[in-house]
Structure 1
Amino acid sequence: MSADQEQRTIRCLVAKVGLDGHDRGAHVIARAFRDAGFEVIYSGLHRAPEEIVQAAVQEDVDVLGISILSGAHNTLVPKVIEGLKEYDAFDDTLVLVGGIIPDEDKEELLELGVAEVFGPGTPMEETVEFVEANAPER
């Protein structure tokens, strides 16, 4: 990590998209990010993809972590990525997906531009280190 990266605070939006009402994992990762020194914004539950995009753009986040357990990841995540591209914010935003994602869907999400997919039981340190190593430089 360069000296410039050490001095700036990584801004993260932890987002719950769609009708998924289970947010314990989102709270756990938000706390881990905060404890790592990141600035964390939490979207709250039941957000539409457009709301997530608006929040990411307005808050000028470096990292967008989408927490999804509903099984609608193949529908909702592409809408979020499409929205970020419409605002020219995709290239400046590290997009992560966390939750229950079947292996056969993981590759498709990565091809769409998701930087990484984190499943249940991923150590918090692994996720934090991934963000520190891959957050876009501003």
Structure 2
Amino acid sequence: MPARVLIAKPGLDGHDRGAKVVARALRDAGFEVVFTGIRQRVEDIVAIALQEDVAVVGLSILSGAHLALTARTVEGLRAAGAGDITVIVGGTVPAADVPRLREAGAAAVFPTGTPLDELVDGVRALTAAPASTERG
């Protein structure tokens, strides 16, 4: 069974071309992909992640609010009892912010310009290990 990945566009950012390219690359690589569309609230992303029973939430952020939105998403998943869902971040992310995103709970960061095969391999590696806990 392929891993399910949610590609989400949190906040007010209305640009979704990169997220759609990532979603297609993951789908073509065998993942089952759910795409939220643009301008999603963190609470809605968490609800969709739970409803769709995803293994990974990929946040596509170009607005510069990546630190706050990532932290809020990780906190929201944990509060919902879904802290086992892996969160990854892609988009306009300065190199200096990568460690801070990792500290906020992002398992991986894929800045703009990351080759698609590198991103697919990264998501594949993150979903290869069996989940340590089950949500019920």
| Normalised TM-score (structure 2) | 0.91
Question: How do 1:77-92 and structure 2 match up within 5 A?
Answer: 77-91=70-84
- Gaps spanning 5+ residues in structure 1: where? 1-7
| In 1: Cα distance, 2:70 partner to 2:94 partner | 14
| In 2: Cα distance, 1:36 partner to 1:134 partner | 14
Question: How do 1:116-127 and structure 2 match up within 5 A?
Answer: 116-127=108-119
Measured after TM superposition, the shift of residue 103 of structure 1 is 1.9
Query: Once the two structures are aligned, what percentage of the paired residues are identical?
Result: 52
Measured after TM superposition, the shift of residue 37 of structure 1 is 0.8
Q: Which residue of 1 aligns with 2:30?
A: 37
Moved over 6 A (4+): none
Q: Which residue of 1 aligns with 2:100?
A: 108
**Is 1:98 the equivalent of 2:127?**
no
User: Match for 1:51: what amino acid?
Assistant: D
Aligned pair count reads: 130
**Is 1:26 the equivalent of 2:24?**
no
| Normalised TM-score (structure 1) | 0.90
Cα RMSD (Å) of the superposition? 1.0
Listed one character per residue, the Cα deviations across residues 48-76 of structure 1 (whole Å, up to 9, x for unaligned) are: 11010100011110111000000011221
Which residue among 111, 130, 136 is the counterpart of 1:137?
A: 130
Measured after TM superposition, the shift of residue 104 of structure 1 is 2.0
SS in 2 for 1:125: helix
Measured after TM superposition, the shift of residue 106 of structure 1 is 1.3
- Gaps spanning 5+ residues in structure 2: where? 132-136
| In 1: Cα distance, 2:49 partner to 2:18 partner | 20
